[in-house]
Amino acid sequence: MAEDPSVTDAESQAFTAKAAELMTRHAIAEAEARAQRGEAAESVTRLDFPVSGVGGHGKARVKALAGIAAAYGCQSAVRGNTSANTERTLIIVGTVTALDSLRVLLPSITMQMEASARLTARNHVADLREMRNYDRSTLATERNRFYRSFIRAYGYAVAERIREFRARLREEPSAQAAENGSGSAAAAGEETARGAELILREDVHRVQEEFHRRFPQLRPTRPERTHHRAGARAGYIRGRRADLGVETNVGQGSAPSLTDSD
């Protein structure tokens, strides 16, 4: 519903918000339930997510989305991440539950991010045009630098909020038990929280092992040198305000390049 072009921006954000909250809570609850039943941890697999290169902003989009995937405990590699305007593939390795969440959320987050970047970059260029007598080429370069920095910072802010939200959810059982006023209930809540924390931490280690098994030799991507301070600041602010259903470092989500044979 969030991706339906007939809905308004506010409705799209509201649908994305509810989906993010429900799926994150479900992932932690399922991890706890599996541990209590003595079941094996869920499998680790991969998701191939297409990333547009339109406008020459593909690398910035990969950086943003890989950071969001990392916030869910996943690791990413990318195929075809050149400076061309062509589509590239972000390959995300993670648990089944995490990838199910990302499969739903990444398109909606991308839609919000791109719409916000277009609007903010357009306003930025319009302000420059009024203040100074820039030629068309200079304004185009300025817009591109602003746009790319905006997207990278937006992704950073969204990933930051997801980490904060997941951390709070892991603490909720002990906090709720403490409110009950029962020592045994509080102790049980604390034990549950520690169990969830341990399970999620183990999932991260299992994802890392599977990622390195699948891609033992990767070439690191060349970092983008384009940086626009105003664009980064605007992107971070918008990312913190994006409606994700969470009340709340892409560096860990950097995506090494794959060769065509990988």
Domain limits of the chain? 9-258
Q: What is the reported pLDDT for 139?
A: 92
CA–CA separation, 250 and 155 (whole Å)? 7
CA–CA separation, 112 and 158 (whole Å)? 11
CA–CA separation, 221 and 224 (whole Å)? 9
Q: What is the reported pLDDT for 232?
A: 93
Closest C-alpha to 34, from 97, 99, 104, 103:
97
Q: Which contiguous run of DSSP H or E holds residue 172?
A: helix 136-179
Q: What is the reported pLDDT for 164?
A: 82
pLDDT tens digits, the chain, 262 residues: what are they? Answer: 666 777 666 666 667 666 766 776 777 677 777 777 777 778 899 999 999 999 999 999 999 999 999 988 999 999 998 878 999 999 999 999 889 889 988 988 898 899 889 999 999 999 998 887 888 899 999 999 999 999 999 999 888 888 887 777 766 654 454 455 555 545 445 555 555 666 677 888 999 999 999 999 888 777 677 789 999 999 998 888 765 655 443 333 445 555 444 4
CA–CA separation, 219 and 23 (whole Å)? 33
Q: What is the reported pLDDT for 253?
A: 41
Structure tokens at 25: 């809570």
Name the residue with tokens 């499998």: 43
Name the residue with tokens 């869910």: 72
Give the 3-state secondary structure of residue 42: coil
CA–CA separation, 44 and 56 (whole Å)? 32
CA–CA separation, 49 and 90 (whole Å)? 5
Q: What is the reported pLDDT for 26?
A: 73
Structure tokens at 204: 């991260």
Q: What is the reported pLDDT for 215?
A: 92
